[in-house]
Structure 1
Amino acid sequence: MNCAVLVQTCDKYQPFWDGFFHFMEKQWDFGTGCPIYFCNEKKKLDLPRGFTQIRTGSGSFVQNLKVALDEISQEHVFYMLEDFWPTAPMSRERFVSLYESFVKNEMDALQVSTYTPYYKLVVDEMSACGNKLLRFESDSEWIFNFQARFWKKALLSQCLREPKISESAVSSAITVEMESDEYTRKEMNLKVWLHHYFWYPITGVAYRGNLTEIGKQMQNVVEIEKFVEEKFNLRFASDLQ
């Protein structure tokens, strides 16, 4: 499989990384055969098994992403942000089926998320995982976005544009999305499809360095599950003595 998973974050989001890894370990099938790169800025990390770190330095969001893409040897990437905490399984079978459809049909990108009313979509004849895919119309808003997607790596890099407004005015990812989406709709004819699957909250669990309401709920789940696991392990160890 000529594909790598790329998870992008920034160092100020470090308080939320444990939650991401917690849900990835629960929901992600690490038997996909794809390396998983966790891309942050400067902090050197001791990552859980299955993850490899890429440190990009403290450039802009676009600069950091391009550095990470250049570090990856595979032709394709499955890109996602670290505040997309999985709530449903991403099985090897689903991942491979989607990737094979992406390659076979020469897509520019294949998004794996729920649809939203902001997208202008049509039902396509192509299918994957037993369901027909949805195709973005050429004039759809957000034909370029940072939801979880398979991408041609070189094309993703080509689409990226530095925002005209300050990244701190909204958020780094959103300002880049806005600028890159405007550029691609005017200058490029992207062929993008969507596989409708609710496996993470598409709004993300954090915004401008703070947990959203759904993020707070999911963080509470993390704390409860870790508490229960710790108590169980202590009880089990005590019973063995």
Structure 2
Amino acid sequence: MNNNYTQHNVALLVHTCDRYRFLYDGFSYFFNQNWDFDTQCNYYFATEEVSVSLPHFANIKSGRGEWADRLRHLLQNVITEKYIIYFQEDMWLNRPVSSSFFNELFALMAHNQWQQVKLDSADIYKTHPTPYYIEGFNIALLDNKTSGYLMSHQVTVWEKESLIQQLHKGEHPWRNERKGTKRLKKLDPQIYHIDYFAQNGQQAINQNQVQIMRSEYHTVSGNSMLQDNVLPYIKPLQQAGAEQQAYAAQLLHHYQNQLTHDGQPKPRKEDIFKKIKNFFKR
């Protein structure tokens, strides 16, 4: 397959919220360390209202609102490219990415009119092999009936209109994954899967050729706080320049003190009786 595919048809979108601004510098640092910028796409870092300046990325803004509404606005009114590589700000790379892999994938998607190619491995996915390979990776076909989370927010290449169709008004991220999976199971589209990213160290699940070179990312955030996955990223920052060392100290402080990304203490859980009491007070 010829991989001379115009970069203006593909957008790499990092979809964020302003409350998670604390993670932006970490995402950017490790993305720049591992991404191959010969990949033929345009780069967008989408905040709500805050302005940021990150290398290689154009800062676009969604405005405030629910998760699905913000993303749909970006896709319908801001981003003009036909295909979307979807990232979030807490997905930090730690292994190199191959531009030739992605450029070949973009060409195959356009040629075959594929709507969705998942790029992270998980045992919730059940797949069937196809004749297609890129750099030793089999492009497997998802078994929609037996697989979980057909709608997920892990790294995926989407045909934009197909993604827009799964963004229903007012859906927060968890509802979108839950409801979107039900919608996709009913529609039963062809969804493809490649073991390209070892998300959080997950093993490959497809019938790949030997010696595939996987990239990897870890999700460093959960419940608005840093998780254990952030620890391997702190040491490289401590060994970099002064700016990165200061950021590493902030990460470690947040992690050790269980602070939220906006610097607040971990929220205390209310028991059911306190919730009822506070409801009637309001």
Cα distance in 2 between the residues matched to 1:101 and 1:141:
25
Cα distance in 2 between the residues matched to 1:63 and 1:26:
32
The CA RMSD measured in Å over matched residues stands at 2.1
Structure 1: which amino acid aligns with 2:191?
V
Please, what TM-score do these two structures have when normalized by structure 1?
0.83
- Determine whether 1:46 maps to 2:53: yes
1:78 touches 1:148 (CA, 8 Å); kept in 2? yes
- In the other structure, the counterpart of 2:125 is 119
- In the other structure, the counterpart of 1:236 is none
Cα distance in 2 between the residues matched to 1:136 and 1:163:
28
1:178: Cα distance to partner?
1.5
Cα distance in 1 between the residues matched to 2:231 and 2:173:
21
2:69 touches 2:170 (CA, 8 Å); kept in 1? no
Cα distance in 2 between the residues matched to 1:80 and 1:182:
22
- In the other structure, the counterpart of 2:32 is 25
1:123: Cα distance to partner?
1.9
Deviations 1:155-182 (A, max 9, x none): 1000123577xxxxxxx43332112112
Cα distance in 1 between the residues matched to 2:39 and 2:165:
27
- In the other structure, the counterpart of 1:104 is 111
2:150 touches 2:180 (CA, 8 Å); kept in 1? no
Alignment of 1:151-190 (within 5 A): 151-162=158-169, 172-186=172-186, 188-190=187-189
- In the other structure, the counterpart of 1:237 is none
2:10 touches 2:83 (CA, 8 Å); kept in 1? yes
* Structure 1 residue ranges, 4+ long, deviating more than 6 angstroms after superposition: none
Unaligned 5+ runs, structure 2: 1-5, 201-216, 246-282
- Determine whether 1:208 maps to 2:211: no
Q: Which of 130, 137, 140 lines up with 1:134 in the alignment?
A: 140
1:77 touches 1:152 (CA, 8 Å); kept in 2? yes
Q: Which of 132, 150, 154 lines up with 1:147 in the alignment?
A: 154
Residue-pair matches, total: 220
2:66 touches 2:170 (CA, 8 Å); kept in 1? no
Structure with larger Rg? 2
Change (3 A) 1:203 1:177: farther
Structure 2: which amino acid aligns with 1:57?
G
Cα distance in 1 between the residues matched to 2:231 and 2:225:
9
Structure 1: which amino acid aligns with 2:136?
G
Please, what TM-score do these two structures have when normalized by structure 2?
0.72
Cα distance in 1 between the residues matched to 2:235 and 2:135:
32
- Determine whether 1:13 maps to 2:12: no
Cα distance in 2 between the residues matched to 1:223 and 1:199:
24
1:33: Cα distance to partner?
2.8
Change (3 A) 1:199 1:227: farther
Indicate the SS of the match to 1:197: strand
1:107 touches 1:191 (CA, 8 Å); kept in 2? yes
Cα distance in 1 between the residues matched to 2:220 and 2:108:
29
2:14 touches 2:87 (CA, 8 Å); kept in 1? yes
Cα distance in 2 between the residues matched to 1:127 and 1:196:
11
Change (3 A) 1:219 1:16: farther
- Determine whether 1:87 maps to 2:94: yes
- In the other structure, the counterpart of 1:192 is 191
Cα distance in 2 between the residues matched to 1:174 and 1:203:
19
2:119 touches 2:194 (CA, 8 Å); kept in 1? yes
Indicate the SS of the match to 1:142: coil
